[in-house]
Amino acid sequence: MLVIDDHPLFRQGVIDALSREPDMIVVGQGSSGDDALEEIRSLKPAIVLLDVNLPGMNGQQITHQVTAEKLRARVVLMTGYDDVEQSLHAALAGAAAYVAKDVEPNSLLGIVRDVADGKYVFGSRAMTRRELQRWIEDQIEAAPRPYSEPGNPFHPLSTREMQVMECVVRGLSNKEIAGLLGISHQTVKNHVTSILRKFSVEDRTQAVVYALKHGWVRLKTSNLKSEGHGI
């Protein structure tokens, strides 16, 4: 079993809970998306407990890659933002379970055992593959707005829009973003308008909340690199 989370205290708590169980062995840990893929490929764990919001690639993107590479690991995604749309993203990416981070330790252990038995755990339910497919269909049908699958690399924004979004999360103005990325003020405005449209939100604050909630950006972002410009 592998545990990937960038919060050391939470990660250690999960490892401690798992390590006390005689039927569970933690073979490794990590704190970033890059750590996750490297460890999954090299250690070949049966189960990975993976935070959604990680530095580098987020948990959804990593899950998508694990599925694409047909790696043996079954992914349990852990999140601080538990909602239906996010859980649908997780299921369609190939996750075996989607778990809120405030889960009780005994419940987490039960989920891990269900996943080890080949089940899928979403919406606090342990399901077969067929039951999961029915659950996905029901959730999509009941969604208040048409469900749209995230694109590759598992978010709907272009590379430049992601750079602008990361700047918005940092609280930069359009003028500051334009100077940082080496583009015009009007181009920044166009990108922000596109982001709001793609997220179906009305303002920058809602866009920030939406992007953070889905693990697409972080409050502490890494250095940006613009297309053709060093930042």
Per residue in 101-147, pLDDT (tens digit) is 999 999 999 999 999 999 999 988 999 999 999 998 888 777 655 55
pLDDT exceeds 80 at position 218: no
Q: Grade residue 226 by pLDDT with cuts at 50, 70 and 90.
A: very low
Closest CA to 18 of 49, 46, 40: 49
Q: CB of 1 within 8 A of CB of 46?
A: yes
pLDDT computed for residue 92 by the predictor:
84
pLDDT exceeds 90 at position 216: no
pLDDT computed for residue 220 by the predictor:
55
pLDDT computed for residue 213 by the predictor:
75
Q: CB of 177 within 8 A of CB of 221?
A: no
- pTM (2 d.p.): 0.67
Per residue in 143-199, pLDDT (tens digit) is 655 555 555 445 667 778 888 998 998 889 999 999 999 999 999 999 999 888 888
pLDDT computed for residue 138 by the predictor:
86
Fold of 159-213: Arc Repressor Mutant, subunit A (1.10.10)
Fold of 2-142: Rossmann fold (3.40.50)
Q: What is the dihedral of CA 111, 116, 117, 122, to 10 degrees?
A: 40
Q: What is the mean pLDDT of residues 77-83?
A: 81
pLDDT computed for residue 97 by the predictor:
97
d(CA 121, CA 91): 9
Average pLDDT, the chain: 85
Per residue in 31-66, pLDDT (tens digit) is 988 889 999 999 999 999 999 888 878 888 899 889
d(CA 231, CA 225): 5
**Six-digit token string for 78:** 């852990």
73-77, 173-177, 216-220: range with highest mean pLDDT: 73-77
**Six-digit token string for 219:** 């409050």
Residue ranges of domains in the chain = 2-142, 159-213
pLDDT exceeds 50 at position 227: no
Q: What is the mean pLDDT of residues 63-89?
A: 86
pLDDT computed for residue 152 by the predictor:
47
pLDDT computed for residue 75 by the predictor:
97
